[in-house]
Amino acid sequence: MQSRGFLAVLLSGCTFAWACADGEILDGADLTEQEGEGERAFPGMVGDLERAVIEGPGGPMEVEYEAFEGRAIFEGDIELNVGEPTLRSLGSKKEMLWKDGIVPYAFHKKLGQSSRRDITTAMETWNRLTGIRFVARTDERDYVEFVTGKGCDSLVGRQGGRQIIHAAYCKAGGAMHEIGHALGLWHEQSRPDRDEYVEIHRGRISPRGRHNFNKVNGLVVGAYDYGSIMHYRPNEWSWTGRPTITPRRPLSPGVVMGQRKAPSSGDIATILALYDLTAPSPDQGPGPNPDPKPNPNGECGGLDYKGRCADSVVEWCESGKLKRYECAKLGKGCGWFNDREGFDCVDKRCVDLNYTGRCSGATAEWCKDGVFKRKDCAAAGKSCVLTESDGYYCE
């Protein structure tokens, strides 16, 4: 397993030829396909192009990356830990995997509820298909923290200590892609053998994006996976609108190059081999969010985007379809969030408490944007009273 994992972590896709079905997508979350530009750490921005050396399984290799705000961004959404005189060996060694396939995680306090739902869907999809477990962090030293940022990016493999994933604007499919990096997967089209399977049209690539199409030096195991969730989209970094990547071989029915619906069978096979896991049975463990259940009339039956609560489930209307999410997955309940967002997942203490609040003895308690707040009025020499403008407050 030591040698298999060493090879597999460099490359996403099929670890063993017999484990692949040419990128077949197994049953995953029913997610909308993302179009156009892929994941970017700094979308729409251009950084300073710099060079460094990375220690890969095939030996030291020089890479080009963009420097943004003191960060080294490789291939658009991979963050590198820059050191002297080389970069760290990113995701290329067994010790950089997550112990026993368990990934402690945390949400930054400023991460919005919709982003948390998408990320939770992404984690549950990887869990359901591979058995990789994501557990809320308590005091673990090594963990990932999902934070807000300008775009989407991740380090590759376990780096040690607090490890950031920017996924606030990725949607569920993009979050699956970034989590794939954190588990140890690289971009599929970076394989050194990729020219046998895809053609790179460099004349259609933006000059400042051409360095993102260089190959990564390393050993190849398994068949090329056109359907990998780690593959670039066909129009990636195009400045003409025409495809920058085209397959040299016909794709099997149902295979979409650059899809962001779910990990492919090749992605799954890689993670199973890398972490020495057995694929979960279909009814084992939590799965992604239930499919939306539209109104029998094909509409939302008068429900708008502000939604409603059905016990701990928040329901809302989006693009004419009924959407729902189980707030208990976040350890929360369903309640009024604010006048702009309507109903959403909130602190359980806020389920029956809104911004007007209440008095608990001499303590004023209220909720703001789903967060429970309290103030000891007596400590300030005041009393908890009801005011017309602010509800219950210290006065």
DSSP per-residue codes, 13-67: S-SSGGG-SSSPBPS----PPP-SS---SSTT---EEEEEEEEETTEEEEEEEEE
Backbone φ and ψ of 166, nearest 5°: -85, 115
Q: Say yes or no to pLDDT of 196 above 90.
A: yes
Nearest C-alpha neighbor of 68 from the set 187, 166, 159? 166
Query: 97-106, 152-161, 221-230, 293-302: which range is least confident on average?
Result: 293-302
Report residue 243's pLDDT band, with 50, 70 and 90 as the boundaries.
Answer: very high
Band of pLDDT at residue 362, cut at 50, 70 and 90 = confident
Give the CA angle between residues 42, 46, 51 to the nearest 5°: 100
Q: Which amino acid is at 297?
A: N
- Active-site hit among 79, 178, 315, 326: 178
Instruction: Average the pLDDT over 91-102 and give the result.
Output: 78
Question: What is the pLDDT, as a whole number, of residue 71?
Answer: 92
Match domain 1-289 to its CATH number in 3.40.47.10, 3.30.360.10, 3.40.390.10, 3.40.50.150: 3.40.390.10
In this prediction, what percent of the chain has a pLDDT beyond 70? 75
pLDDT at residue 316 in the model: 78
Identify the residue whose tokens are 């003409």.
240
pLDDT in tens, 32-71: 333 346 799 999 898 999 988 876 656 677 889 999 988 9
Q: What is the pLDDT of residues 321-345, one digit of tens each?
A: 787 888 888 888 888 877 667 788 8
- Asked if residues 87 and 54 have their Cβ atoms less than 8 Å apart, the reply is yes
Among 141-150, 221-230, 343-352, the range with the most confident prediction by mean pLDDT is 141-150
Question: Which one has a higher pLDDT value, 386 or 217?
Answer: 217
pLDDT for the residue numbered 9 = 40
Count of C-beta atoms within a 10 Å radius of residue 59: 8
Residue 168 confidence class, pLDDT cut points 50, 70, 90: confident
* pLDDT at site 84: 39
Half-sphere exposure of residue 202: CA atoms within 13 angstroms, side-chain side: 7
Residue 111 has pLDDT above 60, yes or no: yes
Average pLDDT over all residues of the chain: 78
What is the distance between the terminal CA atoms of the chain, rounded to a whole angstrom?
67
CB atoms within 10 A of CB 147: 17
pLDDT of residue 189 exceeding 90, the answer is yes
How far is residue 286 from each of residues 55, 277, 315, measured CA to CA in Å?
37, 17, 20
* Position 299 pLDDT exceeds 80: no
Over residues 241-248, mean pLDDT? 94
Q: Tell me the domain boundaries of the chain.
A: 1-289, 358-394
Q: Residues 246-288: pLDDT tens digits?
A: 999 999 998 999 999 999 999 999 899 889 888 786 544 433 3
Give the model confidence (pLDDT) of 128-137 as tens digits.
999 999 999 9
Q: What's the mean pLDDT in 350-378?
A: 80
More confident residue, 98 or 208: 98
Residue 315 designated active-site? no
Higher pLDDT, residue 217 or 273: 273
